[in-house]
């Protein structure tokens, strides 16, 4: 958990923010994504400034660390008051900070609306395709009907939860060969064509490029799952299961020289970015120009 300071190198205005992650780079990526979003960028002065002056015109610096959410909110209030970043002449903060302790009803509705706006809607063609996968003989209940007695039982149980014993009984009744879809998977023996794979890949790239925060979130979830011994064991078991594995997931697969070169270049770029970020933070801690706030903001009082 940390507090960060963002400085506009063009007009020297600042913004104070908080982040519950380990690095401010994740939060900055979210700011940039929101600035590019018309709905978010129009509402927040800071995001409008990022859109106007471009992300490369801003410098981000970590200025404090917190051990819990309460301390984080208190630190945000302290630094906003200290640097007076809520003053329109000095900064972009629109409040005195400390938000995040409890969401208001208005904020919940706004977050819900933004989440729905980001969701990708399926076309009618996609809906029809999904429907065809579950009709006729492909439906597990094909050719079956509920008895009158079962219908009465289901009607009386509406809104009630199953007991653990009932769940175990239901699971045993529909497992293995007892399952209506046993051996009838609609995808058995089928594979995506190269054109479909390319289309799926392009769609995923566009989605992540439009929302870097989503890409970062997916990456963080994958890392956490891999660090969990139980989840990691399941993931490895899934990779090993069956003989029809993807060529890239089979053990002993040899990577081409071109792929090795791309992997090496990507790793070097990441390391260079980290070294530069560490260097910038070191300069700030040693009293670099970023921390000489009184000279930068003559109107501020400390």
Domains of the chain, first to last: 2-117+267-296 (3.40.1440.10)
Q: Where are the alpha helices (DSSP H) in 138-289?
A: 148-156, 164-173, 194-210, 212-227, 229-240, 257-285
> Count of CB atoms within 10 A of residue 35's CB?
20
**pTM to 2 decimals?**
0.36
Q: For residue range 113-123, what is the model confidence (pLDDT) as tens digits?
A: 877 776 667 78
Q: Three-state secondary structure along 63-111?
A: EEECCCHHHHHHHHHHHHHHHCCCCCCCECCCCCCCCCCCCCHHHHHHH
Mean pLDDT computed over every residue of the chain: 78
pLDDT exceeds 70 at position 184: no
pLDDT exceeds 50 at position 295: no
């Amino acid at each position: 958990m940390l507090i960060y300071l963002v400085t506009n190198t063009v007009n020297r205005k600042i913004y104070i923010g908080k982040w519950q992650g380990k690095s401010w780079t994740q939060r900055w990526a979210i700011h940039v994504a929101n600035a590019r979003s018309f709905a978010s960028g129009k509402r927040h002065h800071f995001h409008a400034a990022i859109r106007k002056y471009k992300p490369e015109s801003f410098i981000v610096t970590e200025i404090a660390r917190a051990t819990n959410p309460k301390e984080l909110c208190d630190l945000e209030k302290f630094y906003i008051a200290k640097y007076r970043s809520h003053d329109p002449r000095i900064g972009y903060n629109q409040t005195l900070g400390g938000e995040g302790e409890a969401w208001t009803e208005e904020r919940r509705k706004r977050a819900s609306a933004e989440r729905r706006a980001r969701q990708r809607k399926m076309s009618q063609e996609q809906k029809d395709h999904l429907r065809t996968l579950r009709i006729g003989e492909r439906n597990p209940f094909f050719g079956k009907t509920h008895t009158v007695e079962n219908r009465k039982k289901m009607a009386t149980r509406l809104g009630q939860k199953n007991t653990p014993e009932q769940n175990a009984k239901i699971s045993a009744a529909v497992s293995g060969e007892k399952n209506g879809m046993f051996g009838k998977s609609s995808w058995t023996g089928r594979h995506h064509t190269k054109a479909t794979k390319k289309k799926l890949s392009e769609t995923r790239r566009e989605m992540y490029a439009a929302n870097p925060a989503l890409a970062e979130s997916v990456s963080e979830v994958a890392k956490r799952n891999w660090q969990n011994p139980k989840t990691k064991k399941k993931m490895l078991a899934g990779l090993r299961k069956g003989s029809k594995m993807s060529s890239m997931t089979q053990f002993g697969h040899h990577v081409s020289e071109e792929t090795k070169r791309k992997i090496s270049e990507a790793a070097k770029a990441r390391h260079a970015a980290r070294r530069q970020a560490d260097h910038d933070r070191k300069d700030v801690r040693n009293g670099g120009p970023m921390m000489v706030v009184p000279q930068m903001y003559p109107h501020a009082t400390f």
